[in-house]
Structure formats: structure tokens, C-alpha cells
């Protein structure tokens, strides 16, 4: 598994962990009844895990090579990344288009979206782009033979 594949696997795992933590946070806030001290204590533990513990550990996973002669990046990797970025860009616009249509039904007569919704939309778009990019990278490497080679 080369560096690009490792990064894609890590991005997928980290994105799904973020989605799971987001769902758990929503359920925790819903069950706590907006009790501020309990929510802040919970969020402090979650952010500690999400931003202070996992990224330093991932550094060692992503930088470790199997052998010193292993190539970091080649032309095939470049082509795979370009195609994955194109797929991610297409997914971004497709999701944004779908969200625009749903927004027309959500808006109603007054025609305004709550300010709280917009950051959630942008975070959701970032997660969709990350997941699409990572899946596209892994699918393209999976098409090859042994160790991703054609």
C-alpha cells in the first residue's frame, strides 16, 4: 500500500468517525435537553479525541514506508489523483444542486435559511468531497493487479 492509498484509507476512516461523532453529539444534545455543563464536558472529550490524539498518531502511519527504496509518487499516482479530484468536484456540485432543490422546499414563504444551517451545509459538502476523493482513489488502485500495478 503506497502513501496515496494510506491517505485515502485514513481520510475515509476519519470522515466516518467524524460522522459517527456528529450523530452521537446530536443525540447527546437531544437527550441532555441543552444542559450546558454536560454538553461542554462531552464536547471537550470528543474534540480531544478528534483533534489532539488521532492526528499525531496518523502521522506515523502515513509516513512509514515498507522499504527505503519505495517510490513516494509516480505518474500513475498523479493521474489517479487528478481523476479522483474530478470525481470529488463533480460530487460537490451534484450534492450542492440537490441541496439547492431541497432548500426551495425548506424555505417556504419567507425565503430565508437560518444562519445555523449554512455551516452545516459547508461541513457536509467537505465530508462528501473527502469521502468521494478517497473512494475514487481506492477504486482506481483496486483496478490494477498485484499491489495496484497494471
Nearest to 8 by CA among 146, 140, 149, 147: 140
* Alpha carbon distance 3, 77 (integer Å): 10
pLDDT for 24: 76
Cell readout for 95 is 450534492
Among 6-15, 19-28, 76-85, 105-114, the least confident range: 105-114
- State the helix-helix crossing angle for 54-63 and 3-32, rounded to 10 degrees: 170
DSSP track, 69-134: T--S--HHHHHHHHHHHHHHHHHHHHHHHHHHHHHHHHHTTS----TTHHHHHHHHHHHHHHHHHH
Per residue in 47-65, pLDDT (tens digit) is 777 777 777 777 777 776 6
Cell readout for 113 is 435559511
pLDDT band with cut points at 50, 70 and 90 for residue 109: low
3-class state of residue 23 by DSSP: helix
Which is more confidently placed, 35 or 84?
84
pTM of the model: 0.74
Per residue in 3-47, pLDDT (tens digit) is 788 888 888 988 888 888 778 777 777 776 666 677 677 777 777
Query: What kind and span of H or E run contains 149?
Result: none
3-class state of residue 137 by DSSP: helix
* CB contact set of 124 (below 8 Å; sequence gap of 6+): 95
Per residue in 86-102, pLDDT (tens digit) is 999 999 999 999 988 88
Mean predicted confidence (pLDDT) in 120-148: 83
pLDDT for 65: 66
pLDDT band with cut points at 50, 70 and 90 for residue 148: very low
Amino acid at each position: 500500500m503506497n502513501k496515496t492509498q494510506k491517505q485515502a484509507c485514513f481520510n475515509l476512516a476519519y470522515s466516518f468517525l467524524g460522522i459517527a461523532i456528529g450523530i452521537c453529539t446530536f443525540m447527546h444534545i437531544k437527550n441532555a435537553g441543552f444542559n450546558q455543563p454536560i454538553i461542554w464536558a462531552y464536547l471537550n472529550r470528543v474534540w480531544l479525541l478528534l483533534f489532539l490524539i488521532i492526528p499525531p498518531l496518523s502521522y506515523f502511519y502515513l509516513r512509514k514506508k515498507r522499504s527505503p527504496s519505495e517510490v513516494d509518487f509516480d505518474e500513475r499516482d498523479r493521474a489517479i489523483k487528478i481523476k479522483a479530484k474530478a470525481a470529488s468536484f463533480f460530487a460537490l456540485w451534484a450534492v450542492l444542486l440537490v441541496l439547492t432543490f431541497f432548500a426551495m422546499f425548506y424555505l417556504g414563504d419567507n425565503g430565508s435559511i437560518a444562519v445555523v444551517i449554512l455551516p452545516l451545509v459547508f461541513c457536509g459538502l467537505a465530508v462528501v468531497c473527502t469521502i468521494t476523493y478517497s473512494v475514487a482513489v481506492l477504486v482506481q488502485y483496486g483496478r490494477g493487479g498485484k499491489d495496484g500495478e497494471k
